[in-house]
Structure 1
Amino acid sequence: MLSSLVIAAILLLTRLTDAWGTLGHETVAWIAQSYVSSDTKDAVQTILDSKASDYMANVSTWADSFRYSDGAAWSAPLHYIDANDSPPESCSVDFNRDCGDAGCSVSAIVNYTSILLDDESKASLKLDAMRFIIHFVGDLHQPLHDEALDVGGNTINVTYDGDDTNLHHIWDTEIVEQLADGQDAEAFAKNLTAAIKAGGYGWDASTWLTGASLNDTKATAMTWASEANAYVCSDVLAAGVDAVEEGDLSGTYYTAHYDVARIQLARAGYRLGAWLNLIYTGQTGA
């Protein structure tokens, strides 16, 4: 039997996976850039001290790098909320049950939103808050960042395109890369943004901001987390753990479930842009 110290070490190491990977996070940020108002864009660029065309995309993975730096381990739990549910039979997220004492993605979004809303916040605090918000809204939309089972799928061993990896990693990276089909983040985001505006794939973006409000940031973030978590039961682990540990998931599994990654990337970018608009203009602008 593994000792408690060994188990703790495993849990720490397996939680180092990046939600969506670089391509996914940059795609979310590029989509958001398409939806921010001119006033919001000015505010964000001022905080980030950047006039670059990819001003949000180029900081979208900063939070993943930051947590590896000296003294930043405290930020690791903020990348996820561990839903202690029972997929595939039952999926649910409960803030009091699932957001630990060290915090979680939901509490982080609440905290960093409040910093951005506070005119008295120091510039250095606002810089970190902006970079965290850009990243954590993306994290929240990856279904396995809203799941505790097998450390969010990190300890579920799978095969993808002939490579041995884990379930969490393929949802972060391989499924997104296969979906992008060679496009870089900017091009991929342009295609997803066009689909949002056209109502492609049956999407109705007018419903994606239902209930979004700065008056209750926790409720808003919990709504988005619960929506993502539901996919763990309906798609990610619909047939159970044993099923995903068999065969190569780049085939029929990908075909059956890639649309979850596509809509969640689109929602994350759309909502991030709208959330920043709410902070700086009081209107979603979407």
Structure 2
Amino acid sequence: MRRSRPVALVPLLLAAVLLLLAGPVGAWGPQGHRLVAALAWAGLTPQVRAEILVLLAGEPDPTLPGIANWADQLRAEDPDLGKRSASWHYVNIAEEDCHYDAARDCPGGNCVVGAIDRQLTILADHGQPLAVRRQALKFVVHFVGDVHQPLHAGFGHDKGGNTVQVHLDGDGSNLHRLWDSGLLNTADRDDADYLQHLQPPASGLDGAPADWAEASCRIAIQPGLYPARAKIDDAYVQRWRPIAEAQLRRGGARLAAVLNGALAR
């Protein structure tokens, strides 16, 4: 009986997701995370969707896209948790030929791989308080998106491309921001349009978060991802934007898979 009302809200919340996706284009960070979450929602089982609606009841925007950027807002909203979770957004393995070693690369579980594994365990534990599981869901949705951004699994010496200066359309930026925001923004699509462009979503993907990080890293070290010149030209965009888009598809498919696994009863 307690679940009947959230389940009945499914059509309303789907409508809310569509309204959100019709909004203006934001930076790749927010937009990319919303798109990964929206792609994942489409791949969830009805049972897991109902469970998520229970977990998100009372949120300002109780949808997966609505909570997808929460972890990036923590520095302003909860500085202590934001500081403690800062290292959970990435893992630096490019210097190690993209081979992940937990003891070396993720001491104490403080990297994106360890964070996904830990938060999925919390999310799957129905003995945990609802608020704790809700927070774990927010982290999982965000971090699965993060681990599919190649420079979140890149080099440590340049902070995932943050110290590599580039110029796009006359504006100064850095390589990390280019992949966080610049590449997708060149498509000039709002969320709803981009979601249609990303169809059909990826399928048949497996592996664990460590495998995803290694695969992202292998993109980060491909010849040409670090541009030969600071000015980003159309050739760079046309080569690399489809790869960024493919990572969104993979992120959505894998997020759906891990949520289906963690929340199935």
- Structure-1-length-normalised TM-score: 0.76
How far 1:247 sits from its partner (Å)?
4.4
Does residue 190 (structure 1) correspond to residue 200 (structure 2)? The answer is no
SS of the residue aligned with 1:71? helix
The within-5 A match list for 1:177-216 is: 177-178=185-186, 181-192=187-198, 194-196=199-201, 205-206=203-204, 208-209=205-206, 211=207
Match of 2:104 in 1: 97
RMSD: 2.2
CA distance in structure 2 between the aligned counterparts of 1:239 and 1:230, rounded to whole angstroms: 12
Correspondence for 2:125: 118
Answer yes or no: is the 8 Å Cα contact 2:51–2:263 preserved in 1: yes
Partner of 1:140: 147
What code does the residue aligned with 1:146 have?
Answer: A
Secondary structure of the 1:159 match is: strand
Query: What is the match of residue 182 of structure 2?
Result: 174
Q: Is the 8 A contact 1:158 1:165 kept in 2?
A: yes
**Aligned AA for 1:221?**
P
Alpha carbons of structure 1 residues 21 and 36: separation in structure 2 relative to 1, 3 Å: same
Residue 80 of structure 2: aligned partner = 71
8 Å Cα contact 1:93-1:229 kept in structure 2: no
Query: Gapped runs of 5+ residues in structure 2?
Result: 1-26
Work out the CA distance in 2 between the residues paired with 1:100 and 1:186: 39
- Return the offset for 1:190: 3.0
User: Which of these residues, 46, 53, 67, is aligned with residue 59 of structure 1?
Assistant: 67
Distance 1:71 1:240 in 2: 35
Deviation at 1:240, TM superposition (A): 7.5
Equivalent in 247, 250, 253 of residue 267 of structure 1? 250
For residues 21 and 184 of structure 1, the distance between their equivalents in structure 2, rounded to whole angstroms, comes to: 14
Q: Measure how far apart 1:54 and its partner are.
A: 6.9
| Aligned with 2:138 (options 131, 151, 155) | 131
Are 2:145 and 1:156 aligned?
Answer: no
- The equivalent residue for 1:222 is 210
Secondary structure in structure 1 of the residue aligned to 2:80: coil
Write out per-residue CA displacement over residues 174-231 of structure 1, whole angstroms, 9 at most, x where no aligned residue.
10222xx332223312331x233xxxxxx7x22x12x4xxxxxxxx110111111100
Structure 1 stretches of 4+ moved >4 Å: 50-54
Judge which range, 103-112 or 246-255, deviates more: 246-255
Number of residue pairs the alignment of both structures matches: 236
Contact 1:83 1:98 (C-alpha < 8 Å) held by counterparts: yes
1:130-175 superposed Cα distances (whole Å, 9 cap, x missing partner): 0000000000000000022400000000111111100000000110
TM-score, length-scaled by structure 2? 0.82
Q: Contact 1:28–1:268 at 8 Å: present in 2 too?
A: yes
Question: How far apart, CA to CA, are the structure 1 residues paired with 2:115 and 2:246?
Answer: 23
How many angstroms does 1:20 deviate by? 4.4
How much has 1:248 moved relative to structure 2? Answer: 2.2
2:245 is aligned with what amino acid?
R
Maintained 8 Å contact 1:84/1:97: no
- CA distance in 2 between counterparts of 1:240 and 1:177 reads 17
Distance 2:94 2:35 in 1: 29
> Cα offset for 1:82?
1.5
CA contact (8 A) 1:85 1:93 kept: no
The unaligned stretches of length 5 or more in structure 1 are 1-18, 197-202, 212-219
Letter in 2 for 1:228: S
The answer to whether the Cα contact below 8 Å between 1:93 and 1:146 also exists between their aligned partners in 2 is no
Give the alignment of 1:23-38 within 5 angstroms.
23-38=31-46
Provide closer, same or farther for how the CA distance between residues 247 and 151 of structure 1 changes in structure 2, counting only shifts above 3 A.
closer
- What's the offset of the Cα at 1:105? 0.6
Contact 1:29–1:269 (CA under 8 A) maintained in structure 2: yes
Code of the aligned partner of 2:95: D
Q: Structure 1 pair 52/271, CA: closer, same or farther in 2 (3 Å)?
A: farther
Identity over aligned pairs, percent: 30
Contact map agreement 2:149 2:179 (CA 8 A) in 1 = yes
